[in-house]
Chains A and B, each alone.
Chain A
Amino acid sequence: MSQPDTLKTSQAADHELVAAAAGGNFASFEVEKVAFKDKLHRFFHSHPTAAPTIVLLLAILAFSSIVGERFLQPFNMSLILQQVTIIGILGIAQTLIILTAGIDLSVGAIMVLTSVVMGRMSIEVGLPPSAALAIGLLVGALAGFINGQLVTRFRLPPFIVTLGTWNIFFALNLWYSKSETIRSQAIDQAAPLLHWTGKTVELFGAKLSYGSLLMLALFFIVWYALNWTAWGRHVYATGDDPAAARLAGIRTDRVLLSVYVAAGFICAIGAWALIGRIGSVSPQAGMTANLDSITAVVIGGCSLFGGRGAIFGTLIGALIVGVFRNGLALAGVDVLWQEFTIGVLIIVAVGMDQWIRKV
């Protein structure tokens, strides 16, 4: 591999010298090729969502040629959007945490616990659905607050904290729900508001659920907050280098705590979308949602080391997983190959991230 050498010697001045000496442009091909690779690297470095977007487009192209027009139908596209809604919303929460170099294993448990709270508050306790929804959202924020306190005040690693609270929230969910499912019909009668996220609007043959629209709105809100507010810049700074952020006057503990509370709240919104999608309130739902959300974030190009990654990458990451699952299912491929493919995607995504990080 002589590429590094060529890279070093092909500085502009050097190249001009050689070109002048040769008196022609015969050497330009190789120089341009190297420069292209260099440019590509720089492009991916400054546009973290570019690589996953290309993968998504290629995947859509590939499946539309394998499966045929059924795949590209607007309806099927909107179906994929519906299928990734829950993981997308949890992915937003997960991205916030991962940007601070943390990880949250409890996102799925918070979602299930709050969905049970929303369901039981309206069906068993008989509160108006809007109040039940509000209490659920508060419980989500509280769960995030507990995670945040344990991370900032007791200086415990986020992995351990959320490993613990994952079990705790899940046990609370089973205790509070008595392991009982609330059926779709009961919710339709007593609390139709909880099903609002499952309702759809039709647009050029596509069926968009309000849950999916809610997810897209959340992505835009969090994108704005991360990129155009001081808080957002503080989140990136804290994740990139907490010591430097502290020296720059950022109260990193406060930033971290706010991130965990926001994540908990977003998981509770995910609970609302979950009820809309599956109809019932099931204490057994969302068992693997934490790992699925991490998968979406990683495939979306967010660095697990913190401080690098764009929120829309997560949406793309979730969509990539959704496109592969849907496309392979429509093609009639055995399910185990869906799992295999997702595994390959994760490794490739992290490999890409390592390569891009090398400046």
Chain B
Amino acid sequence: MKFKAGLLALAVSASLISPLTLADKVVVGLITKTNTNPFFVKMREGAQQQADELGMDLRTFSGRFDGDNESQVQAIENLIASGAKGILIAPSDPVAVVPAIDRAREAGLLVIALDTPLSPADAADATFATDNYKAGVLIGMWAAEQLGDKAADAKIAMLNLNSSMITVDVARNQGFLEGFGIEVFDPNRIGDENDPRIVGQDVTQGAEEGGRTAMENLLQREPGINVVYTINEPAAAGAYEALKAAGRTDDVLIVSVDGGCPGVENVRDGVIGATSMQFPLRMAAMGVEAIYEFANTGKKPDASEGLDFVNTGVELITDQPLPGFDSKSSKDGMDLCWG
């Protein structure tokens, strides 16, 4: 009872003081694609920690589903109205959201795109993202090294996201192929390659069921598949189920991108050979810090060297490290993983 009464008193006093203190705090908005995907849940966590540390007032919003532009535009309008200093946004529709972003920047807000660049990318003041192309290159090189001489006549299945060819999907796919040593021609296009080692491409919706069905159909086309690229770890888990049913788990190499905890555990258990880990927590924390600095000094963040965005890092996770490769084991990966 005593504890409860104390808590109540605390709550009352807090509600009395807060209008004053909130007015002093720098308001920063975080808008994610959804609030269901663990990736964005982790992003919110990272932003909250950083905002608490710097004494900022974080307001979070999200779309109701991936592709929900309406809700994101509403969130931007609300943030402009509430006098926010900056917005971090993982855009659901990188093209359609631009007019709303323009209004925010005209109102003096710093806008940082997280995870997915806007189109055009310079519609935001900065982009903080995983280098998805490099993430693909890492697993591509690893797979080629792992196969050694056999890489010359590998049979590769490509399990992509969906048929819309969004930037993340394209960058990971093309990065993998380049890393593996396959000529990609137009790096903005999936499927214009003519290397006979690519058995086929299919889509998974980034989920287990799609991964399994796509793998089954590709195996039906070419039973000799021995390398499987997957857009993310749930798709990889689904593909593994199909390989298990076909009795092919021992001689097929699966690589993936993401670094979610179930994915890292799958690296440990030998389901996935190697995965490129990305860092949503760090991405959001760095974004909050950049807005804090902008609010205090007016300085805008600079892009990483040689890139048109701020690279928030990518790390190869595998239990079969190869000489000359920077990688971490699944054991270390468990401390860094998200979701």
Task: Give the B-binding residues of A (Cβ under 8 A).
Answer: 70, 76, 79, 82-83, 86, 174, 179-181, 183-185, 198, 200, 207, 274, 277-280, 282-288, 325-326, 329-330, 332, 334-336, 339
Task: Across the interface, name the chain B residue whose C-beta is closest to A279.
Answer: B241
Select which of A279, A287, A330 is within 8 A of B205 by beta carbon: A287
Task: Please report whether the interface of chain B is mostly helix, strand, loop or mixed according to DSSP.
Answer: helix
Q: Mark B194-208, 1 if CB is under 8 A from A, else 0.
A: 000000101101011
B237–A79 touching, CB < 8 Å: no
Q: Is B93 an interface residue (CB 8 A)?
A: no
Complex interface: chain B residues within 8 A of A288 (CB): 205
Known A70-B221, A179-B37; contact A336-B241, beta-carbon cutoff 8 A: no
B203–A179 touching, CB < 8 Å: no
Complex interface: chain B residues within 8 A of A336 (CB): 163
Q: Which 8 A-B pairs have the closest CB atoms?
A: A278-B208, A329-B217, A336-B163, A335-B163, A279-B241, A181-B262, A335-B203, A179-B38
A278–B217 touching, CB < 8 Å: no
Task: Please report whether the interface of chain A is mostly helix, strand, loop or mixed according to DSSP.
Answer: helix
Docked complex Cα distance between A284 and B212 (Å): 15
The smallest C-beta distance from B186 to any residue of chain A, in angstroms, reads 16
Q: Is B234 an interface residue (CB 8 A)?
A: yes
Known A179-B37, A279-B240, A279-B241; contact A285-B220, beta-carbon cutoff 8 A: no
Q: What range describes how many residues of B lie at the interface?
A: 35 or more
Complex interface: chain B residues within 8 A of A183 (CB): 237, 262, 265-266
Docked complex Cα distance between A224 and B215 (Å): 36
B234–A181 touching, CB < 8 Å: yes
Complex interface: chain A residues within 8 A of B217 (CB): 79, 325-326, 329-330
The smallest C-beta distance from A144 to any residue of chain B, in angstroms, reads 23
Give 15 A-B pairs besides A278-B212, A284-B207, A339-B163 with Cβ atoms closer than 8 angstroms: A76-B220, A79-B216, A174-B36, A179-B41, A180-B38, A180-B339, A185-B269, A277-B209, A280-B208, A280-B262, A326-B220, A330-B220, A334-B191, A335-B162, A335-B203
Select which of B36, B209, B265 is within 8 A of A278 by beta carbon: B209
Q: Is B238 an interface residue (CB 8 A)?
A: yes
B216–A83 touching, CB < 8 Å: yes
Complex interface: chain A residues within 8 A of B213 (CB): 83, 325
